[in-house]
Structure 1
Amino acid sequence: MNQNAATFLANYEDVVYENAMHLRALLLDKLPGITEQVDIPAKMIAYCYGQKYTELICTIIPSKKGLKLGFNRGTELPDPNNLLEGNGKISRYVVILDKGMID
């Protein structure tokens, strides 16, 4: 997990890289003191307050097709606009289609 985010994201298409880096900058700006961990086996970047996944807040999940912003305990979040997707017992995610969705 010592690989940095930019190097990890460089393996993806330019649009995925650019959107992920933009989202990353926003998360680091809006969540002061957050810890960023690149998880290569899980193919994601985790953001938490601490070093354990139990302290996980959210994740950036890149793929060939695009980008997702995942939320730990997302099932507990209010979602009046039905933006959250996923079938897991705990987490949910938002599909990021373009940079405009990040701002």
Structure 2
Amino acid sequence: MTESSGDALAFDQHLDATTTPAVADIAWALRLTVLEVYPSAVEWFDPGNGLLAVGSQRAMRDLLFAIIPHKSHVNLQLADGADLANPDGRIEGSGKRIRHVKIRSVEDAGAPWLRAVIALQIAHRAG
């Protein structure tokens, strides 16, 4: 089961204070999708960066994903994104290790292609 304690509430309060209702809805839909695909996840809110971190344990070295709200979309950060297959070009960025996927709607937040990307990141980390 997902461990989150008050972190989900803190993230919700952050969304209410800093984003539009539409972006908050996308962020919550994305969170639910990540937790459906990765039910053993541990999540924690990072107030300094305004993101919800998701990983195997509550430590940055165990981070797999981060949910990061922006003005009109939400990024799903992939900790090992540079190493993941990206045949359809949905994984963006040029970082040495971290990449992201832009989620622009609640529908995209639950899309099969996104579930596949999430599963790919989990499998990559599992080795």
Per-residue CA deviations over 1:71-99 (Å, capped at 9, x if unaligned) read 00100110000011111111000111111
1:92 paired with 2:117, answer no
- Which protein is richer in strand relative to its size? 1
- The match for 2:63 among 46, 49, 56 is 56
1:4 corresponds in structure 2 to 10
* Displacement after TM superposition at 1:6 (Å): 1.6
Aligned-residue CA RMSD (Å): 1.5
1:28 corresponds in structure 2 to 35
Equivalent AA in structure 2 for residue 59 of structure 1: A
Unaligned runs of at least 5 residues, structure 1: none
Per-residue CA deviations over 1:31-73 (Å, capped at 9, x if unaligned) read 1121111111112110011121111111101022321111001
Percent of aligned positions that are identical: 25
Look up the SS of the partner of 1:70 in the other structure. strand
- Which protein is richer in helix relative to its size? 2
1:37 paired with 2:21, answer no
Partner Cα separation in structure 2 for residue 43 and residue 6 of structure 1: 11
Unaligned runs of at least 5 residues, structure 2: 1-5, 111-127
Preserved CA contact (<8 Å) 1:60 1:68: yes
TM-score between both structures, scaled by the size of structure 2: 0.75
